[in-house]
Amino acid sequence: MERNQNIEKRILWVAERLFLEKGFNGTSTTEIAKTVGCNQTLIHYYFRTKEKLFWDVFSPKVEQVLEYLDAPLDESIDFMERICNVVDFYFGMLELDERLAPFIVNELIMNPVRWGKFRDRYLRNESRSSAFDRFENMVEEEINSGRIRKIRPIDLLLNIMSLTISAFIVAPKGFAIGECDSNLRKSYLDDRREDIKNLIVNGIKL
């Protein structure tokens, strides 16, 4: 039993690495099995399809990221400062692994079926993230109080996410593979982070 659980965890770990490095289409279950050191039948036994394996790899991470959204929403500080904290949060998340931004664009946003599944599962239905519920309530309270313009909370969050991701997509040459000078990297990210904060804050002011 323990051996089976270890194999299953190793399949998930290898699949995550290969999906991030090569993308969904560039990764085969044959390659995953070869890297794990098991046969391809075992992967289909545990996960049935490559698409299901994809979601089994990344759904827990999406859920974790959405729940972590709670951290920047400290009600003791100004609303605009909380929004800036959300920008900082997403920057920090993407800095941890610079493969994430192109992966999110190519495998989630540019794939209408997956994007629809993500949106419906995590942002729209009854089981959606409690952190997003809190974010939504926070935005609607500011709108109703006349402190910001009318905007759907989901649109505001997607604006923050898309602008943040774009900072990593249009980065200096060699940035995503660690060949960029560290000072240039830090300067670029710091500048983009502040620009995005200003764009978001100024975009919701009345």
Question: How would DSSP label each residue in 125-142?
Answer: STTS-HHHHHHHHHHHHH
Write the burial class of residue 96 (CB in 10 Å: 0-12 exposed, 13-18 middle, 19+ buried): exposed
Which CATH number fits the domain that encloses residue 20? Answer: 1.10.10.60
Q: Does residue 44 sit in helix, strand or coil?
A: helix
45 and 73: one domain? no
Spatial CA neighbour of 80 closest among 202, 206, 201 = 201
Total number of domains in the chain = 2
100 and 184: one domain? yes
145 and 193: one domain? yes
82 and 18: one domain? no
9 and 75: one domain? no
Q: Could you tell me if residue 95 is inside a domain? A: yes
Q: Could you tell me if residue 197 is inside a domain? A: yes
Which CATH number fits the domain that encloses residue 159? Answer: 1.10.357
Q: Could you tell me if residue 47 is inside a domain? A: yes
Are 129 and 66 in contact by the 8 Å Cβ rule? The answer is: yes
Spatial CA neighbour of 44 closest among 13, 11, 20, 18 = 11
Residue 172's identity, in one-letter code, is P
Residues (pLDDT < 50) of the chain are 1-2
Number of residues assigned to the chain? 206
10 and 80: one domain? no
Residue 29's identity, in one-letter code, is T
Q: Could you tell me if residue 125 is inside a domain? A: yes
Cα–Cα dist 6/8, whole Å: 5
Q: Is the whole-model pTM more than 0.95?
A: no
Q: What pLDDT was estimated at residue 3?
A: 55
188 and 115: one domain? yes
93 and 176: one domain? yes
Write the burial class of residue 11 (CB in 10 Å: 0-12 exposed, 13-18 middle, 19+ buried): buried
105 and 134: one domain? yes
Query: Which structural domain range is residue 142 located in?
Result: 69-204
Spatial CA neighbour of 119 closest among 86, 152, 78 = 152
Q: What pLDDT was estimated at residue 174?
A: 54
Q: What pLDDT was estimated at residue 2?
A: 47
